[in-house]
């Protein structure tokens, strides 16, 4: 393996040593096993290929300041994968199996775990796939849970770097009463085309409104939305956004720092009232937005509205404080008062 430059890691698919696998068949999960070839085989008729019967999770392992290796809140990801599996009619991986497989993935790929001091971590990607060969549109109790990992730096090219987003007037993320709050792969498929158009225009992110009435802020394609108004941390209450574990943690961190936390519908016009706004999630951590544009037609010329938060290139004081606090806990520089860091032994 060539030497990894821990300081210039982005967020990429990475060929590490091992993937950890368990198969659900005949009502049972098989003991977790590791591949040595970084590959596995599925039937071409497997449901996952044809009908997108798949869901995934994203969580991170850190080398802390004192050398301990921890995974951030894996119990939350286990519970969220179970919830998504129920939605898809798939077998739910037990939480202890899920966590054990994440630990095994870290331990069997240790040479890819960034050491402390580079701001980098190991991203863990558990993937649950319907593998039964089948044409009928009915759930089937057979699945593979695969946990893979990649050394990860910053999602957008630099830590805590301000970015811009566009609200696409002609694309929705998920249907009302649809799959928006579940981590199904299909939700992401629908974002590829608008992301390409947005990136070609220089935007980093897509900010979706609630589909249907398009009155309220929902979330970014990759992450949750939060806004800062004076001493308030405000984040959308919506049944079609993913319940982000980072956002849940930041709400607690904000409250710990003496801020008021509001989780409620955010009318799109309220964007004008925020001092700071940003994206939060495992991959993006906290990514502050310098401005957000609303374009009636994403590929068109017209910008119907622009909301500015901080000058391009700068980062507001509250985003900075929240970022330092959450990453401080993850890297073991601040006390983990809520017991969020799960040690890998
Ligand atoms: N929203 C979407 C659409 C996401 O893909 C993610 C990433 O997982 C999040 C929000 C943030 O969730 P979390 O903080 O649990 O990573
Ligand atoms: C994560 O943050 O874990 C995600 O799954 C987001 C994805 C777009 C990389």
Which CATH number is 312's domain given?
3.20.10.10
Same domain? 168 vs 221: yes
Instruction: Report pLDDT for 297.
Output: 98
Q: Is 282 in the pocket of ligand 2 (CB under 6 A)?
A: yes
Instruction: Report pLDDT for 145.
Output: 98
Q: Is 58 in the pocket of ligand 2 (CB under 6 A)?
A: yes
Q: Whose CA is nearest to atom 6 of ligand 2?
A: 222
Last residue of a domain, one of 118, 152, 186: 152
CA dist 344 → 60, 113, 127 (Å): 12, 12, 20
Same domain? 167 vs 286: yes
Same domain? 122 vs 172: no
Ligand 2 atom having least distance to the Cα of 282: 2
Same domain? 84 vs 224: no
Same domain? 188 vs 306: yes
Residue 222 alpha carbon to ligand 1 centre in Å: 6
Residue 136 alpha carbon to ligand 2 centre in Å: 30
Q: Among residues 270, 280, 265, which one has the least CA distance to residue 212? A: 265
Pick the ligand that lies closest to the CA of residue 78: 1
Instruction: Report pLDDT for 36.
Output: 81
Give the residue carrying structure tokens 């939350």: 76
Q: Is 10 in the pocket of ligand 2 (CB under 6 A)?
A: no
Same domain? 12 vs 140: yes
Same domain? 178 vs 145: no
Domain residue limits at 62: 6-152
Catalytic residue among 60, 65, 161, 183, which? 183
Residues 6 or more apart whose CB falls under 8 angstroms from that of 225 comprise: 207, 217, 218, 219, 235, 236, 266, 277, 278, 279
Q: 340 in a domain, yes or no?
A: no
pLDDT-flagged residues of the chain (< 70): 1-2
Q: Is 281 in the pocket of ligand 2 (CB under 6 A)?
A: yes
Q: 305 in a domain, yes or no?
A: yes
Q: 158 in a domain, yes or no?
A: no
- Is 183 assigned a catalytic role? yes
Same domain? 59 vs 144: yes
Instruction: Report pLDDT for 1.
Output: 55
Instruction: Report pLDDT for 208.
Output: 98
Instruction: Report pLDDT for 157.
Output: 85
Last residue of a domain, one of 132, 152, 172: 152
Domain count, the chain: 2
Same domain? 301 vs 167: yes
Same domain? 211 vs 297: yes
Q: Which domain CATH number covers 60?
A: 3.30.470.10
CA dist 245 → 46, 74, 85, 170, 290 (Å): 30, 10, 17, 29, 24
Q: Whose CA is nearest to atom 2 of ligand 1?
A: 223
CA count, 13 A, side-chain hemisphere, 131:
18
Torsion of CA 147, 153, 154, 159, to 10 degrees: 140
Same domain? 170 vs 143: no
Ligand 2 atom having least distance to the Cα of 59: 3
C-alpha to C-alpha distance for 246 and 64, rounded to whole angstroms: 18
pLDDT digits (tens, 9 = 90+) for 228-264: 999 999 999 999 999 999 999 999 999 999 999 999 9
128 with 143: CB under 8 angstroms? yes
Angle at 319 between CA 316 and CA 320, to 5 degrees: 80
Pick the ligand that lies closest to the CA of residue 72: 1
Same domain? 100 vs 198: no
Angle at 129 between CA 247 and CA 70, to 5 degrees: 45
250 with 188: CB under 8 angstroms? no
Q: 268 in a domain, yes or no?
A: yes
Residues 6 or more apart whose CB falls under 8 angstroms from that of 344 comprise: 61, 69, 70, 71, 103, 106, 107
Ligand 2 atom having least distance to the Cα of 281: 2
Instruction: Report pLDDT for 2.
Output: 60
Site residues for ligand 1, CB cut-off 6 Å: 58, 219, 222-224, 242, 244-247, 281-282
């Amino acid at each position: 393996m060539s030497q990894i430059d821990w300081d210039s890691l982005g967020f990429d698919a990475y060929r590490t040593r091992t993937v950890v696998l368990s198969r659900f068949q005949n009502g049972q999960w098989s003991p977790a096993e590791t591949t040595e070839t970084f590959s596995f085989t599925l039937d071409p008729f497997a449901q996952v290929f044809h009908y997108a019967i798949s869901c995934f999770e994203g969580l991170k392992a850190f080398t802390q300041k004192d050398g301990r290796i921890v995974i951030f809140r894996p119990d939350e990801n286990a519970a969220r994968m179970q919830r998504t599996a129920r939605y898809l009619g798939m077998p739910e991986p037990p939480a202890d199996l899920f966590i054990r497989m994440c630990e095994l993935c870290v331990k069997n790929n240790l040479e890819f775990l960034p050491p402390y001091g580079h701001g980098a971590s190991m991203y863990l990607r558990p993937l649950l796939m319907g593998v039964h060969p089948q044409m009928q549109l009915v759930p089937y109790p057979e699945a593979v849970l695969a946990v893979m990992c990649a050394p990860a730096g910053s999602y957008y090219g630099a830590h805590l770097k301000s970015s811009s987003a566009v609200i696409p007037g002609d694309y929705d993320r998920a249907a009302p009463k649809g799959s928006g709050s579940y981590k199904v792969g299909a939700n992401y498929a629908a974002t590829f085309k608008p992301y390409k158009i947005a990136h070609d225009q220089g935007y980093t992110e897509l900010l979706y409104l609630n589909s249907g009435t398009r009155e309220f802020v929902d979330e970014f394609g990759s992450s949750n939305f939060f806004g800062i108004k004076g001493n308030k941390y405000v984040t959308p209450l919506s049944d079609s956004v993913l319940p982000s574990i980072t956002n849940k943690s930041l709400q607690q961190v904000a409250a710990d720092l003496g801020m008021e936390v509001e989780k409620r519908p955010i009318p799109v016009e309220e964007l004008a009232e925020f001092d700071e706004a940003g994206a939060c999630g495992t991959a993006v951590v906290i990514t502050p937005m310098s401005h957000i544009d609303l374009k009636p037609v994403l590929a068109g010329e017209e910008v119907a509205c622009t909301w500015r938060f901080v000058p391009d290139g700068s980062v507001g004081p509250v985003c900075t404080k929240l970022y330092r606090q959450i990453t401080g806990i993850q890297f073991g520089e601040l006390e983990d008062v809520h017991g969020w860091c799960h040690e890998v032994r």
